[in-house]
Amino acid sequence: MKESLAVIGGSGAYHLLQANLLGEELACAAGSTPFGESAPIHHFQTQESGFLFLSRHGETDYAITAPFVNYRANIYALKECGVERILAWSGPGIINPVFKPGDFVVPHDIIDETKNREMTFYKNSGIGFIRQSDPFCPEIRASLHDALHQAALPHHEAGVYACTEGPRLESPAEIRKLRIIGADLVGMTLAPEAFLARELEMCYAPLCYLTNYAEGVVTREFQKGRLFEGMQSEEEKTVVEQAVKKFPVILQACLELLRNRDRNCHCPHAMQRYKDKGMIDGDWRSWVGPA
């Protein structure tokens, strides 16, 4: 499977796979990498052209939580398939009450609060000092913005995403801390995924659909046996489900815009100074350290 565009699906991706809503499937296989086996990579064909799709949390249900996703294997396998640009999605909670459940947000920045994840391909080496002035590719973000406009879907053009370790949800005090340091949204998936993509000079940006208010932002009684134990109302659950159903249209529009856009961003040059110094060569596989 060789394609330059890929989608990493977050919460709810398995529903789109089961419903065959992403196009005609040509092939599916997991990638064998130095970091283990990746999640299955699906090759879809639409009327326009092809793209790859990976569901980070599972194929038929939410089978693996964020801290246990093999992010290095997934990103490495997509690079092996020739992928240059990754459009990801995530379903975070809301810290900044300017946002509401069901909204779409194109984040512009990230705060990494994870603790125990394998964060780099460059363990025990002297490389990997990569600038993060734009942690998410501005060209993919611009294409997402245009795709959402084309679909007449209101959205927020910026937001700071805080990535926590999980799988537990955050305490009210932790949410207050994150709000103080500038976070608008809180989720568990975009780190180290975004940073790993940049290490292999791939473009990466997420689209978020907002699932619920984080703990303490609004007052919600505990409800046993319910999704998020009552942090999401029935009305909010409905609007969030409707947002997920819009993903195929948004993805197709964004991917088509990207096919017609040259890579003029800085993402393909993240490792250039190491190449110029002769510390690495043109074969990206040789850059990667041991698992």
pLDDT digits (tens, 9 = 90+) for 137-169: 999 999 999 999 999 998 999 999 999 999 999
Q: List residues bridging with 86 in a β-sheet.
A: 6, 204
Which residues, 6+ apart, have CB-to-CB distance to 159 below 8 Å?
96, 99, 105, 106, 107, 108, 109, 184, 185, 208
Residue 185, CB-side half-sphere exposure with 13 Å CA sphere: 32
Total domain count for the chain? 1
Query: Structural domain of residue 155, as residue ranges?
Result: 5-287
pLDDT computed for residue 12 by the predictor: 75
Give, for 210, the enclosing helix (H) or strand (E): none
Pairing of strands 85-90, 36-37: unpaired
- Of 106, 99, 105, 144, the closest CA to residue 236 belongs to 99
Confidence of residue 17 (pLDDT cuts 50, 70, 90): confident
- Of 194, 108, 208, the closest CA to residue 159 belongs to 108
- The pLDDT tens digits for 206-245 are 999 999 999 999 988 888 877 788 788 899 899 999 998 8
Q: What is the mean pLDDT of residues 183-199?
A: 98
Confidence of residue 136 (pLDDT cuts 50, 70, 90): very high
Q: What's the distance, Cα to Cα, between the start and end of the chain in Å?
A: 24
pLDDT computed for residue 253 by the predictor: 94
| C-alpha–C-alpha distance, residues 224 and 222, integer Å | 6
Question: For residue 247, is it left (φ>0), alpha (ψ between -120 and 50) or beta?
Answer: alpha
Instruction: Name the pTM for this structure.
Output: 0.95
Confidence of residue 56 (pLDDT cuts 50, 70, 90): very high
Quickly count: other Cβ atoms within 10 Å of residue 123's Cβ: 13
**In sequence order, which ranges of the chain are alpha helices (DSSP H)?**
13-18, 71-80, 138-150, 172-180, 190-199, 234-245, 247-259, 272-276
| C-alpha–C-alpha distance, residues 10 and 56, integer Å | 6
Q: Do residues 205 and 89 make contact, with C-beta atoms less than 8 angstroms apart?
A: no
- Of 2, 148, 18, the closest CA to residue 83 belongs to 2
Domain CATH for 117: 3.40.50.1580
Confidence of residue 20 (pLDDT cuts 50, 70, 90): confident
